[in-house]
Chain A
């Protein structure tokens, strides 16, 4: 803590930001490293607030969940490979497909994108960290604990078993008496908190933390995608958290929200769930589409075609995404007017999606594509997106949907869109950014192999599902009779799913080997245009030694594009080093606005997450006193966190009656 200066002009409250440069190895650069480094060992591990550390944790954790969900799927495919098999009991099968859905949708699909965005946002935006680094740590810890919470009862054979959509009355107190659904309900409320604080962090980061000159029309599309998804989360997540909370009240406290005998309505569950659930579909694909929009141009050697159109289509998709939830409920007997309206909006949503698809195709068409592994994944993604989108248009047509509802056709559609639009860009994104994450290149030959095995396995596995659905095979059945005509398609699907799994294993082996033996990566191995490639691989703890000045959308390609806007300056810029500092800019034009003080590493987020999670465990086990204690402990962690600090200039300088005890 510095001594406060009393006489104005008070340099502790305002100053002209220093301008300079700090090349690698200079005294200033070494000092910055010391400032931003986390302490070594377990203390640093628990208390770090570095977005890069947190982003990688998100990625690794969500990949572990991906593997768990994948194993669950493979077990189901073994069961369904032939008719009348009895590897699994019906109850086991129910828990498997439910946990598979929960894992893939909630514990893999969004967190993996949060991992990318967390790692890349400050690097892409030219900042030294996210807007709220401590909140960032909190969102990770909560995600981890919520994941453990959701899985807590599964090994005991008491996992959630009413499908990830969890319809009442099947999930209500009458038909589901065990702890299965309570674990799911409380775990989802906990996970919702993590998602919400993460979303708040992204939104505020975008508004405040861009490098000077990076006006809103110069940010990468990944940023647009995550921003749109985060805004959607603010409005969608409360719906599902509330639905699960009301369900928990129904189950444990005798309320009547979904209880038809006392005036409750099971349809209320479906409304609340899908008001969240459909926007969520776009939440877990828009950032992935952003990955493609940013990385694909690198391999086409030209900027993305129709930047503004793609950015706007991102937002249009989300806006429309809030108005289509009824298409999950076409078969529930709603009035025809409502159904036709929502059928129409569901068809309309293909328009912004098509804008993005044509932008990617045009980028490939007008560019000079370099067929490296990431490009293959992105190009494959475009194809799968089109197939999944077309089956989506089919199911948006009400009469067809009435026929296809609850058949494997819908399963095929959702796996084409979710794997096609989430998994393929994610794996491509890992290949693309791995050098930045780890400082080494991934093996190209094995990369191509992994793509082709994944691509073939995926189509072999999931395309026949369309056929099974058209042949009338219902979803969520644990086995089927041999004379239904579904034997061959199911066998092909099961074979395909194992081929796909082999592709995932090749990919993981490639990561494991490349971590140790990959070729050392230069700063910008792909010759990419965006700002994250302007720092060493892997980036130093402070990201940018000087906050750069940005003049165009492609700061690293200005020498070859007609940059009418001027030249960015990446060597000389704001050199903020009076403690952990970064620059805050205005929301739209990115004019320097404020020198931001960034928090030091702290345990507060970890403890807040721990106590909150224990409080939820207390609710689950009905230990009221324990729950109360944990709530109080969580509250105290929050007070310690919020206590105004001299170091962050949250207090008036010169007041030092209270020591800096609130270090969390």
Chain B
């Protein structure tokens, strides 16, 4: 590129604005490394499953109804987060706030149902290899959901305080990306823990 060295004549946005803000790059890098973390978790799961001689899972094939409903709940929360950001762009901060609150409630519902699932398991973290894997993997995911919920709550507070509008809302974009990532990861976790045993 041999462009002439002239200085910018156009006004440039100030601060963390635009689609590719510093925080956007940062959260993308975070997602890459967190995605790798879940990749290694699932690698461990499949590696150990491939060499086991035990029942996998010990209680027989997993029931899909409740986890399936829970998956739908989590995915729909992502839609609300997306809507929240879009409403900000369309200059509808009230609707945006409502969408964020709805997303947070759905996320909290996911956590509640997942904790119920934990409670219903006849084994614990230390009972068997499968138990160790199941609780560690879902526990890691639940932790990410919890962090995401705190983020959604903060975003909702900041929207309520009127910090963001159609011109400035990078934080909402960035927080939303993280939430979508947590949801996408759940699909992989769900496939590994609930659908994979049906293949065997």
Contact = CB atoms under 8 A, between A and B. Distances in A.
Interface of A: 9, 12-17, 19, 131-132, 135, 196, 199-200, 203-204, 207-208, 212-213, 215, 233-239, 241-242, 246, 249, 253-257, 259, 262-265, 268, 271-272, 275, 549, 551, 564-569, 573-574, 581, 584, 587, 589, 592-597, 635, 639, 642, 644, 648-652, 655, 657-658
B119 interface: no
A549 B4 CA distance: 10
B168 A649 contact: yes
A399 B47 CA distance: 27
Contact of A595 (B13, B32, B167): B13
A650 B48 contact: no
A184 B16 CA distance: 39
A557 B73 CA distance: 61
Interface stretch (B77-85, B103-111, B123-131): B123-131
B40 A242 contact: yes
Nearest to B39: A238
A198 to B, nearest CB: 11
Contacts of B8: 16-17, 212, 574, 592
Nearest to B24: A204
B63 interface: no
Nearest to B7: A19
A567 B167 CA distance: 37
B136 A595 contact: no
B115 interface: no
A644 B158 contact: yes
A362 B1 CA distance: 27
Given A203-B25, A568-B5, A644 B163 contact: yes
A135 to B, nearest CB: 8
Nearest to A583: B12
B44 interface: yes
Contact of B154 (A595, A596, A639): A639
Given A200-B26, A268-B44, A14 B128 contact: no
Contacts of A635: 150
Interface in B121-165: 125-126, 128-129, 132-133, 136, 150, 154, 158, 161-165
A255 B2 CA distance: 60
Contact of B22 (A196, A204, A271, A639): A204
Nearest to A237: B33
Interface string B26-69: 10011011101101110110011001111000000000000000
A652 B164 contact: yes
26 contacts: A16-B10, A17-B12, A131-B25, A131-B26, A212-B5, A212-B8, A234-B32, A235-B36, A237-B33, A238-B34, A238-B36, A249-B132, A253-B126, A257-B132, A263-B129, A551-B5, A564-B2, A566-B5, A594-B12, A594-B21, A595-B15, A596-B15, A597-B14, A649-B16, A650-B170, A650-B171
Nearest to A646: B163
B12 A234 contact: no
A268 B154 contact: no
Given A14-B13, A203-B29, A235-B36, A246 B1 contact: no
Contact of A12 (B14, B22, B129): B14
Nearest to A201: B26
Interface of B: 1-5, 7-18, 20-22, 25-26, 29-30, 32-34, 36-37, 39-41, 43-44, 47-48, 51-54, 125-126, 128-129, 132-133, 136, 150, 154, 158, 161-165, 167-168, 170-171
A50 to B, nearest CB: 18
B12 A13 contact: no
Given A204-B25, A257-B48, A242 B125 contact: no
A125 to B, nearest CB: 14
A584 B17 CA distance: 11
B29 A234 contact: yes
The 4 closest A-B pairs by CB, nearest first: A649-B15, A254-B126, A255-B132, A238-B37
A235 B129 CA distance: 26
A234 B1 contact: no
A642 B33 contact: no
Nearest to A572: B7
A655 B161 contact: yes
B161 A587 contact: no
A256 B18 CA distance: 48
Contact of B129 (A135, A257, A565, A581): A257
Nearest to B8: A592
B125 A549 contact: no
Contacts of A208: 22, 25
A573 B7 contact: yes
Contact of B16 (A19, A212, A573, A648): A648
A593 B12 contact: yes
A594 B13 contact: yes
Contacts of B47: 265, 268, 271
Nearest to B5: A549
B143 to A, nearest CB: 11
Contact of B168 (A254, A263, A652): A652
Contacts of A241: 37
Contacts of A204: 22, 25-26, 29
B9 A235 contact: no
Give the most central of B47, B129, B161: most A CB within 10 Å: B129
A644 to B, nearest CB: 5
Contacts of B1: 215, 589
A655 B14 contact: no
Nearest to A233: B33
Contact of A242 (B10, B41, B54): B41
Contacts of A264: 48, 129, 132
A237 B34 CA distance: 10
A451 to B, nearest CB: 38
B76 to A, nearest CB: 26
Contact of B17 (A13, A200, A215, A592): A13
A657 to B, nearest CB: 7
Nearest to A565: B2
A596 B15 CA distance: 5
Contacts of A246: 44, 136
A595 B5 contact: no
Contacts of A272: 40, 43-44
A511 B14 CA distance: 43
A576 to B, nearest CB: 10
B4 A566 contact: yes
Nearest to B3: A213
Contacts of A597: 14-16
Contacts of B5: 212-213, 549, 551, 566-569
A196 B33 contact: yes
B162 A652 contact: yes
Contacts of A642: 154, 171
A213 B2 CA distance: 9
Nearest to A200: B29
Given A215-B1, A268-B47, A549-B5, A15 B125 contact: no
Contacts of A249: 125, 132, 136
Nearest to A18: B7
Contacts of A17: 7-8, 12
A325 to B, nearest CB: 12
Contacts of A566: 2, 4-5
